């Protein structure tokens, strides 16, 4: 492929992605499905012409996915506005993310071991990526929900991303060292590690904010993003939950007045930082859009239709998603004492993080994933199923929806989170993960 051809293809792909987003805003149909199908279609065309050697994708997709993951968590953290009034909602979102995540992992691990005859370690590590909600899909897709439900989706999906990745890395380390997943010493060590990372993250956040204020050069936000990616890489090298640093930086940057101690405020120009926050948010949103566009195009391109030689991947994928959907329904039915499915039941899409952790699992050397029944085909079916169910939920007319959470809905209406504000970039990100 020569230079002129590449110069034609790359802009066209970005234009198509933008049009897919515009279509998604009108129809609520997830644009990520269109991106993946575009990649699958292009792969089918190239295969028809005998072009099947694309080994570079094996290295390119994980890199794009990792950068996209950092940007997604940062963008989600910048959206979180904290206040005392929202504390009950934040706590509910955290425990919903944690409990549903653990229930999904436990249930899928049992299914994989007893029905699919998988090794216990591989079953656990395969269950975790499939159990994580994609915040970058869930947040914009929840724009049409009630205020309380919309805010709940923001917190739950963001915490699901963070907790899921931390649990995956923890489980990976425990299985590699032949230690039990649930043990007093291991959990205490994990807690100490998290506390240490939080403290270090606070220091890094303060330093980065100072750097942001001191830089007079007109190019400064990409420097901050580069430093964040470098911090993440160092954390991965030391086997630390580095994503926590990204999350804390974003939350502090968008809530300096609420979170920054008074004795530190005199060293920072809060007003100047808040003015630059909007520009930084724009850069993050547009960078995330570009990275996610090519990630899902390349992921779709890596899938060959000819690989679906049997119905097994489809049946496995539908079974796995059905188990997770039932558990989610039971959680909200019992926690709200309301057995009619609520709108939140449908808001559990899978996306980039599931794909990225799945790719990372395939690179693990101490576990054999070659003969695993949970492969890219099953993952694709789960992603598509979760997004189609979410689409059904968002299009469904919500009658008597005020009764779903009466007290908290009314209290949250006073201070709705600004996730569907007039910022066109946030709107443009709809369903791109």
Asked if the model's pLDDT at residue 314 lies above 80, the reply is yes
Tokens of 318: 């539908």
The three-state secondary structure class of 82 is coil
- Residue range 157-182: mean pLDDT, rounded: 85
Task: List, as one string, the DSSP characters of 363-375.
Answer: T-SSS--TT-S--
Query: Which run of H or E residues covers position 103?
Result: helix 87-114
Choose among 160, 134, 107, 138: nearest CA to 344. 138
User: Which residues neighbour 369 within 8 Å (Cβ) at sequence distance 6 or greater?
Assistant: 122, 361, 362
Q: Of 7-21, 98-112, 270-284, give the lowest mean pLDDT range.
A: 270-284
Count of H-run helices and E-run strands, the chain: 18, 0
Choose among 102, 97, 98, 105: nearest CA to 127. 105
The CA distance from 161 to 135, in Å, is 7
The CA distance from 165 to 354, in Å, is 9
- Residues in the chain, overall count: 433
The CA distance from 354 to 128, in Å, is 8
Neighbouring C-alpha atoms within 13 Å toward the C-beta of 109: 15
Tokens of 273: 């930082």
pLDDT digits (tens, 9 = 90+) for 103-132: 999 999 999 999 998 988 899 999 999 999
Residues 57 and 355: beta-carbon distance below 8 Å: no
- Residue range 228-236: mean pLDDT, rounded: 85
With pLDDT > 70 as the criterion, what percentage of the chain qualifies?
84
Fold classification of 56-397 is: Na+/H+ antiporter like fold (1.20.1530)
pLDDT at res. 84: 78
Residue 108 vs residue 305, higher pLDDT: 108
Mean pLDDT, the chain, as a whole number? 79
Asked if the model's pLDDT at residue 212 lies above 80, the reply is no
User: Which of the 8 DSSP states describes residue 115?
Assistant: T
User: Which of the 8 DSSP states describes residue 343?
Assistant: G
Q: Which residue has the tokens 């690179």?
A: 363
With bands split at pLDDT 50, 70 and 90, how would you rate the model's confidence at 355?
A: confident
Q: Is the pTM of this model over 0.85?
A: no
The three-state secondary structure class of 227 is helix
pLDDT at res. 411: 43
The CA distance from 246 to 204, in Å, is 10
Asked if the model's pLDDT at residue 145 lies above 60, the reply is yes
Tokens of 79: 């959206």
Cβ neighbours, 10 Å, residue 79:
20
Angle formed by the axes of helices 243-254 and 57-79, nearest 10°: 30
Neighbouring C-alpha atoms within 13 Å toward the C-beta of 103: 16
């Amino acid at each position: 492929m020569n230079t002129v051809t590449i110069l034609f293809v790359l802009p066209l792909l970005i234009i198509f992605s933008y049009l897919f987003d515009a279509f998604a805003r009108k129809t609520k149909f997830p644009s990520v499905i269109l991106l993946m199908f575009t990649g699958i279609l292009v792969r089918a065309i190239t295969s028809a012409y005998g072009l099947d050697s694309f080994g570079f994708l094996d290295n390119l997709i994980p890199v794009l996915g990792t950068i996209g993951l950092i940007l997604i968590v940062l963008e989600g953290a910048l959206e979180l506005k904290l206040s005392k009034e929202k504390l009950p909602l934040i706590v509910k979102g955290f425990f919903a993310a944690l409990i549903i995540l653990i229930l999904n992992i436990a249930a899928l691990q049992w299914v994989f071991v007893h029905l699919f005859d998988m090794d216990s370690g591989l079953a656990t590590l395969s269950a975790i990526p499939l159990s994580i909600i994609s915040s970058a899909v869930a947040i914009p897709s929840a724009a049409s929900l009630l205020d309380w439900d919309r805010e709940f989706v923001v917190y739950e999906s963001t915490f699901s991303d963070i907790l899921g990745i931390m649990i995956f890395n923890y489980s990976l380390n425990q299985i590699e060292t032949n230690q039990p997943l649930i043990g007093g010493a291991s959990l205490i060590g994990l807690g100490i590690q998290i506390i240490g990372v939080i403290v270090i993250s606070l220091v890094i956040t303060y330093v980065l904010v100072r750097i942001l204020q001191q830089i007079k050069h007109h190019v400064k936000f990409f420097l901050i993003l580069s430093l964040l990616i470098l911090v993440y890489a160092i954390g991965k090298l030391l086997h630390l939950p580095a994503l926590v640093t990204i999350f804390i930086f974003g939350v502090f940057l968008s809530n300096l007045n609420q979170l920054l101690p008074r004795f530190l405020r005199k060293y920072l120009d809060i007003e100047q930082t808040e003015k630059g926050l909007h520009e930084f948010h724009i850069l993050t949103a547009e960078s995330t859009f570009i990275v996610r566009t090519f990630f899902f195009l390349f992921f779709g391109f890596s899938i060959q239709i000819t690989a679906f030689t049997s119905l097994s991947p489809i049946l496995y994928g539908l079974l796995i998603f059905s188990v997770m959907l039932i558990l989610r329904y039971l959680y909200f039915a019992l926690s709200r004492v309301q057995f009619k499915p609520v709108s939140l039941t449908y808001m559990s899409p899978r996306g980039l993080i599931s794909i990225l952790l799945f790719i990372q699992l395939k690179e693990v050397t101490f576990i054999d994933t070659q003969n695993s029944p949970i492969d890219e085909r099953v993952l694709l079916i789960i992603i598509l199923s979760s997004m189609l169910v979410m689409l059904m939920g968002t299009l469904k007319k919500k009658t008597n929806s005020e009764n779903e959470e009466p007290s908290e809905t009314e209290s949250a209406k006073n201070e709705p989170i600004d996730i569907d504000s007039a910022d066109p970039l946030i709107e443009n990100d709809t369903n791109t993960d």
